Chain A
Amino acid sequence: MANYYLETSAFLKRYKQEKGSAFVNQIIEDSSSVILYLNLTLVEVNRVLFCLYKYPQAIGEVQPISKDVFDSLIAQFGDDLLKMKKIVLTEEIIKETREILEKRYLKSLDLLHLATFLIVKKEFLDVKLISADRNIIEVAKTFVPENDIINPETYE
C-alpha cells in the first residue's frame, strides 16, 4: 500500500490528458493507494473550472466551456474526492509554514501545500508528495529526500 499527498497541480492532470496524466490516473484508480489532499484543493480546482466556465477572460483567450462540460468536470472531481482522504487546514499547518519560511521562500498556497505534506509525513513516513509545481518541488527538496517527491510529468 502506498500513501500519496496529491497537490493540486498534479491533481488537475486527472481531468485533461497530458504529460503526467497517466501516472496520476494510475494512482487514483489503484484501490490499494491512499491519497490525501488538503481541503484547499477544492478551492483551487473550483477556481480553475469556474474560470473555464464563467470567467475565461481571467485566463486569457480561452473559449468558455458549456454548463454541461462544467457539470461533468465538477461531478468527476466530486467522485474522485470521495475516494480520497481529506486533510483539514489546521493551525499546526499554519505554524509549519513559518518553519519553511525560515529556510526558503514560497507563495502562500504553495507554502500551505508543502507544510501540509511535511505534517502528513510526520504521521506517515512513507508518504510521497505528488506535485507538478516546480516551486514546491524545489523547496520540498530542502526538507525531504528527493525520492519522496514525484513530479508526474517526469514519468512519461
Chain B
Amino acid sequence: MNFLLEPLNLVTFFPLLGVLVLLFIKSEAKNTIRWVALGTALVNFGISLWALSMFNSSNPDLQLASQYSWIQVAGWNIQYYLAVDGLSILLVLLTTFLTPIAILSTWTAIEDRVKDFMVFFLMLEVGMLGVFLAQDLFLFYIFWEFTLIPMYFLIGIWGGPNRLYAAVKFFLYTMAGSILMLLAILWLGVNQGTFSVPELVLKGGIPADVQLWLFIAFAAAFAIKVPMWPLHSWLPDAHVEAPTAGSVILAGVLLKMGTYGFLRFNLQLFPEAAVKAAPTIAVLAVIGILYGAAVSYSQKDVKKLVAYSSVSHLGFVMLGMFALNAQGIEGAILQMINHGLSTGALFLMVGMIYEQTHTREIAVYGGLWKITPIYGSLMLIVALSSMGLPGLNGFVGEFTILLGAFGSKAFGTPIYAILSAIGVILAAIYILYMFQKMFLGPVGKIVEEVKHHGHELRDLNAREIITLLPLLVFIFWIGLYPAPFFNLIAPAVDKLLIPFRAILGG
C-alpha cells in the first residue's frame, strides 16, 4: 500500500484504476465512460500538482524517488526506480494536463467503441508518465515500447481512411529506432554493471569511441521520435490519420519523449560524444526547421500543415539543446512545453472544425472569422503563439533558444542561429497564410456545402471553449511571466551542464 501512495507511483499508475473501473461499465453507457475517463485524468492532474507541491525547485537532483530492487539475480541489476527532477517535472505536468483536455475533445468526435478508446487513452498516459519518470534503463525501455501499443490502436481503430498504413508505419518506424537503443542499453548494463541512470552518470568513464556508438544508438531511437529531419516521414501520416485527441497527445507529449530522451540519456550519459555530435545535430536541426516550414507552407491539408510545423518547431528544440549552454537547454525545455500547448491547441481547433465540415482542405474554407467569431479569435491567438509573437509563449522559448545557439561554444559559430532565425520568419508566413485563407477574405464554399446538408456552421460551444481555455491561460502565462517555469528548470540544467563546462571551458 505504501508503494502505491508514493506520489510518483500514484501519478503513474492512477490511470490504471480508471481503466479498471471502465472495464466494469457497459459499452453502451457512453457518457458514463466519458465522465469516468475525464474524472480519472483530472484527478491524476491533481495528483501531479500534489507531487509538484512537494518538489523542491532549488534542488537540482532527482526527487520524490521511489526506488525498489526489482530483478537482482543471475547477474542482473535492475531496479524499479521512478524519480523526477527539473528536466522532467514540466513534462510530467504537461502530460497530466493535456490528457484530460484531449479526452474532453473526444466528447462528440468519438462515438464508436468509446470504452476501448478511453482504455487505450488512459494506458497511453501511464506509458508516457513512466517514460518521463523512469530512472532505470530497463524500466524506461519497457515504458518506452509500451507507449507504442495504445497509440498504434488509437490510430488504427479510430483513425482516418488510410489509418492502417499510418498505424503500421508509426509502429515500425519507432520500433526501428528503439531496437538499436536496446542494444546500447544492454551494452551499458553488461559493461557498467547497472541500469540505473544516476549510477551510470556517476560512474562515467565510457571510452570516447564507444560513447559515440552508444550515442548514435540512443539518438536513433529519439531522433525518430522527435522526429528530426530526415527521419520524419512517419509523422505527417500518423497525424493526418490519427483522431484529434490522438494527434494532440502525439504532438503534445509523444514527440517530447524523443527530445526528453536526448536530454536525459544522450547528454547525461555521453557528454563527450554529445559535444562531438553537436554541430551535426545542429545542421540536421536547422534543415528540419527550414524544411518543415517550407513543406508546411505548401500543404493543402490544414492538419498536415500543422504536422509539418512540428518538424520545424522541434528543430528549434534540438538546436537549443545541443547548444549545450544554459540558455539553449532551458529554452529547449520550455519550448517543448510551448509546442505541446500551441500545437496541441492547433490540432484541437482543426479537429473542431473538421467535426462539422468533414474536410481539412484549406482551399474550401474562407471568411470563417465572420461566421464563427469566437473560433476565429481563439485561432488567431493560438496561431500567433505558434509563430512566436512576443507576449505569447512561443516567443519566450524560441528567443531563448536562439540566444543560446548564437553564443554556443559547442557550435563555435553563430551561423546556425542566424539560419534558424529565418525559420521564425517562415513560420510567420505559413501560419498567417493558413489563417488568411481560412478565416479572412470571401466566405468559402464549404459554408454553402454544410448548409446544403441541412446544417449551419456553428461557432464553438461551451465544451469546446472549456477545452481550449486552460491552454490559452498557459499560452499567456508563459508568454508574459515565464520566470516560475524557468525557476523549475534552471537548477537541474545547471547540474547537467557541469561536464560540458569542463569540456568546453567557461
- Are A and B associated in one complex? no
Residues of A within 8 A of B (CB): none
